[in-house]
Structure 1
Amino acid sequence: MKNGIKKVVLAYSGGLDTSIIIPWLKENYDNCEVICVSGNVGQKSELDGLEEKALKTGASKLYIEDLNKEFVEDFIYPTMKAGAKYEKYLLGTSFARPIIAKRIAEIALAEGADAICHGCTGKGNDQVRFELTIKAFAPNMKIIAPWREWNIKSRDEEIDYAEAHNIPLKISRETNYSKDKNLWHLSHEGLDLEDPANEPQYNKPGFLELGVSPEQAPDKPEYVTIHFEKGIPTMVNGEKLDSVDLIWKLNEIGGRNGVGIIDIVENRLVGMKSRGVYETPGGTILYEAHELLESITLDKETSHFKKTVADKFADLVYNGLWYTPLREAISAFVDKTQEVVTGDVKVKLYKGNIIPASITSPYSLHNMDIASFDDDGGAYNQADSAGFINLFGLPVRVQAMVNEKNKK
């Protein structure tokens, strides 16, 4: 029994890990008061019955904080505008953790808590993301991470503990995938997915939740048009939508067309590789459409440099460094580049594919008078290219002359 901790604020999802943590805390921390906090970032049905479950398993109260709008506008959109991807992964779990952890830290300080507890495994990235955010907003708060303390070694043993303490679970040993769901994505890890030799069972009932596999998608393509204002999507198929509804709309469209399913082995921050399947239907459409619009509105040097910045931005988000000066500085650069990223993008969705159909913008740098293979009306003098090639190729010519001289 550990003393000195009278009140703990727990990051609570109602999943397997956090369900057993409430009684474990009370058993191991002198029957401390446990206050649960759940950040609503689009889990939908996963929040049903959460308060009743938390109270029945020993919590004194549960906060359910609606963070959807802030999540989209302050985390998803800045990351999308940056074009940030971590090894093809669109960072769905990564940028959800800072916003949740920030709110937990604020509530812990307001409640006068002695500690914040999370259910992140000691092998994963989320422990870093949660704890770096807590350090940014409650630097003196004690952090309790049961996976680094208890003698439970597996999810099977967690289920044993839950059954022994009469804690209801929504999963079974056979469906015990580790999942993370929000309005941007759904991740799947564990069980048969741990071995990259195993093909994911996409068509198995209940596996995919945000859409269907490409094989099960309609045989007829579907077109979708997205309007952007300074890099921010504002309309889908001519309908103006608020930020949260827009994501859900694109999830619905992309999901039914088998879009946004990836199977990757990624390099975790803690040093190991892990295999996971991610569903990001609406987000994948947005990334593709945004990149297409940038292809006609950004100049070459800005576009190329921005790709370098995108990789660094992705690393920062993946590694839990959202609340840092560098991430904020990169976002400021990205916002400057987005001043001209306005226009409409139409794409064709067909069995998991996103096929460009149309790109238009008042800021387009694509000039058909200059680029055309037909008569350009004198807009471009092709004879000028000879002098350009002579100067551009001068180092190549000089090197060849030196090589020839040294052969003699």
Structure 2
Amino acid sequence: MAKEKIVLAYSGGLDTSVILKWLKETYDAEIIAFTADIGQRDELDGLEAKALATGASKVYIDDLRDEFASDFIYPMFQSGALYEGQYLLGTSIARPLIAKRMVEIARAEGATAIAHGATGKGNDQVRFELAAAALAPELKVIAPWRSEQFRQEFPGRAEMIAYAEKHKIPVQASAAKPYSMDRNLLHISFESGMLEDPWFDSSAESNEGMYVLSVSPENAPDQAEYLELGFEQGNCVSLNGESMNPLQVMDKLNELGGKHGIGRVDMVENRFVGMKSRGVYETPGGTILFAAHRKMESLTMDRDVMHLRDSLISKYSTLVYNGFWFAPERLALQALVTESQRNVTGTVRVKLYKGNIIAAGVKSPVSLYNPDIATMEADPSQAYDQGDATGFIHLNALRLKVSSGVEQNARK
């Protein structure tokens, strides 16, 4: 009788390395390891050999970087998504893509279950499983961290490190450097370990060795660098006049942003499961793209369309953060976002300097800015009669005067 097949989302880090071995032993199953290449770079080196040596019967390492940039990062950035005013959703937006491909592999391999290494306290468990529910409700989901047996065997990271050492599974985490990292094309995140203390200063010079994508603003070049981003319908399609696809744009912006110390965020956020958590993020390229896109919109988006879209940013961001990428409400919001970007076309110039993105110009063939109308000098177009503002103000003041009169009468 054939063994059950389980597709495991495998990163090669401490958790999933231990889980691969544990699943194989506990379920007596065939484990198919799946790693999505979404920009981890050298973290993928030797991953296939490591997974096979740990007990996987088969390993998929799929290059999803183009799809990640074009179908996930770019649509999200069109929305202006920013969770709790700081987080550019680098981890959140990667999870639906990973789940989508994992489901495809499970179906192709005849697997009955998928598994992940997300903890029972985190957001990723929700993101993976909501995506799976939307795409393949027939598949069983195994979440070892929510298993009483698994938690008894591994009450903490120290036990997992010891288990990995016992089974000769090489992992980056150690007792001396216990924080976890998650890297992709959009960002890298750091959490746990010493970062669980919100008073711990992640910006201190002594902690500079933690960072991967960026230098500190203090160590960035003393010379500013100018950059021109070309947009078409809300998507960045060129840098300094050179046409690029979304993946190339993200790679180049990460390089430039990291060089100039841009995109570091240290925040305490509200997880979907109810607790607060502290995370440190490096998002150099995404931070530049976010700022430039907003600048482009300021010149080309209709006022009320912009305000309507902006009123939905919190909702859209929360949907992505909480794992509802494939939910009908996110798809409906995306349709509105796509329509709002129809004329977001032109060029934005920015200056990068020591952690700052400084606006240095914007132009567009479909600009809604008319200098003849906006000028404080004589209006040659005569499109705006300043006298008309009198009636405009009177009409808008009417309800305020009525309300004030009622309150004054009530006090008499």
TM value normalised by structure 2: 0.95
Task: Give the whole-Å Cα distance in 2 for the aligned partners of 1:247 and 1:47.
Answer: 19
**How many Å apart are 1:21 and its aligned residue?**
1.1
Instruction: Determine the structure 2 residue equivalent to 1:389.
Output: 393
Task: Give the whole-Å Cα distance in 2 for the aligned partners of 1:390 and 1:49.
Answer: 72
Does the 8 A contact of 1:269 with 1:319 survive in 2? yes
Instruction: Determine the structure 2 residue equivalent to 1:230.
Output: 233
2:165 aligned with 1:163:
yes
| Long gaps (5+) in structure 2 | none
Does the 8 A contact of 1:202 with 1:208 survive in 2? no
Task: Give the whole-Å Cα distance in 2 for the aligned partners of 1:394 and 1:306.
Answer: 29
Instruction: Determine the structure 1 residue equivalent to 2:193.
Output: 191
- Say if 1:271 and 1:406 are closer, same or farther in 2 by CA, change over 3 A: closer
2:55 aligned with 1:58:
yes
Task: Please provide the CA RMSD for this pair.
Answer: 1.5
Does the 8 A contact of 2:228 with 2:349 survive in 1? yes
**How many Å apart are 1:170 and its aligned residue?**
2.4
Instruction: Determine the structure 1 residue equivalent to 2:266.
Output: 263
Does the 8 A contact of 1:8 with 1:113 survive in 2? yes
Does the 8 A contact of 2:103 with 2:135 survive in 1? yes
Instruction: Determine the structure 2 residue equivalent to 1:288.
Output: 291
Instruction: Determine the structure 1 residue equivalent to 2:16.
Output: 18
- Of residues 394-403 and 257-266 in structure 1, the stretch that sits farther from structure 2 once superposed is 394-403
| Structure 2 counterpart of 1:274, one-letter code | S
**How many Å apart are 1:205 and its aligned residue?**
4.7
2:350 to 328, 347, 351: 347
| Structure 1 counterpart of 2:397, one-letter code | G
1:243-322 alignment, distance < 5 Å: 243-322=246-325
2:337 to 334, 349, 359: 334
- Per-residue deviation, residues 152-209 of structure 1 (Å, max 9, x unmatched): 1221221011112111112322222111100110001011111111110454353111
Instruction: Determine the structure 2 residue equivalent to 1:144.
Output: 142
- Of residues 219-228 and 136-145 in structure 1, the stretch that sits farther from structure 2 once superposed is 136-145
In percent, how many aligned pairs have the same letter? 55
- Say if 1:74 and 1:392 are closer, same or farther in 2 by CA, change over 3 A: same
**How many Å apart are 1:78 and its aligned residue?**
0.6
2:42 to 30, 41, 45: 45
| SS, match of residue 312 in structure 2 | helix
Task: Give the whole-Å Cα distance in 2 for the aligned partners of 1:142 and 1:10.
Answer: 12
| Structure 2 counterpart of 1:402, one-letter code | V
**How many Å apart are 1:406 and its aligned residue?**
4.4
TM value normalised by structure 1: 0.96
| Structure 2 counterpart of 1:319, one-letter code | N
| SS, match of residue 175 in structure 2 | coil
| SS, match of residue 34 in structure 1 | strand
Instruction: Determine the structure 1 residue equivalent to 2:364.
Output: 361
Q: Which runs of 4+ in 1 moved over 6 A?
A: none
Does the 8 A contact of 1:98 with 1:130 survive in 2? yes
**How many Å apart are 1:383 and its aligned residue?**
1.7
Task: Give the whole-Å Cα distance in 1 for the aligned partners of 2:14 and 2:411.
Answer: 73
Task: Give the whole-Å Cα distance in 2 for the aligned partners of 1:202 and 1:64.
Answer: 36
Task: Give the whole-Å Cα distance in 1 for the aligned partners of 2:384 and 2:201.
Answer: 53
**How many Å apart are 1:282 and its aligned residue?**
0.5
1:71 to 68, 76, 84: 68
Does the 8 A contact of 2:16 with 2:117 survive in 1? yes
Task: Give the whole-Å Cα distance in 1 for the aligned partners of 2:402 and 2:165.
Answer: 78
2:103 aligned with 1:105:
yes
| SS, match of residue 31 in structure 2 | strand
- Of residues 281-290 and 363-372 in structure 1, the stretch that sits farther from structure 2 once superposed is 363-372
Task: Give the whole-Å Cα distance in 2 for the aligned partners of 1:402 and 1:328.
Answer: 46
| SS, match of residue 308 in structure 2 | helix
Task: Give the whole-Å Cα distance in 2 for the aligned partners of 1:55 and 1:403.
Answer: 77
- Say if 1:297 and 1:320 are closer, same or farther in 2 by CA, change over 3 A: same
| Structure 2 counterpart of 1:307, one-letter code | D
2:97 aligned with 1:94:
no
Task: Give the whole-Å Cα distance in 2 for the aligned partners of 1:405 and 1:29.
Answer: 78
1:199-210 alignment, distance < 5 Å: 199-201=201-203, 203=205, 204-210=207-213
Does the 8 A contact of 2:350 with 2:357 survive in 1? yes
- Per-residue deviation, residues 242-299 of structure 1 (Å, max 9, x unmatched): 2111100000001010111111100000000000111000000001000011111112
**How many Å apart are 1:221 and its aligned residue?**
1.2
Instruction: Determine the structure 1 residue equivalent to 2:384.
Output: 380
| SS, match of residue 339 in structure 1 | coil
| SS, match of residue 351 in structure 2 | strand
**How many Å apart are 1:367 and its aligned residue?**
1.3
Task: Give the whole-Å Cα distance in 1 for the aligned partners of 2:18 and 2:249.
Answer: 36
1:20-39 alignment, distance < 5 Å: 20-30=18-28, 32-39=29-36
The count of corresponding residues between Structure 1 and Structure 2 is: 405
**How many Å apart are 1:393 and its aligned residue?**
0.7
Task: Give the whole-Å Cα distance in 1 for the aligned partners of 2:178 and 2:69.
Answer: 29
Task: Give the whole-Å Cα distance in 1 for the aligned partners of 2:3 and 2:89.
Answer: 34
**How many Å apart are 1:370 and its aligned residue?**
1.4
2:82 aligned with 1:85:
yes
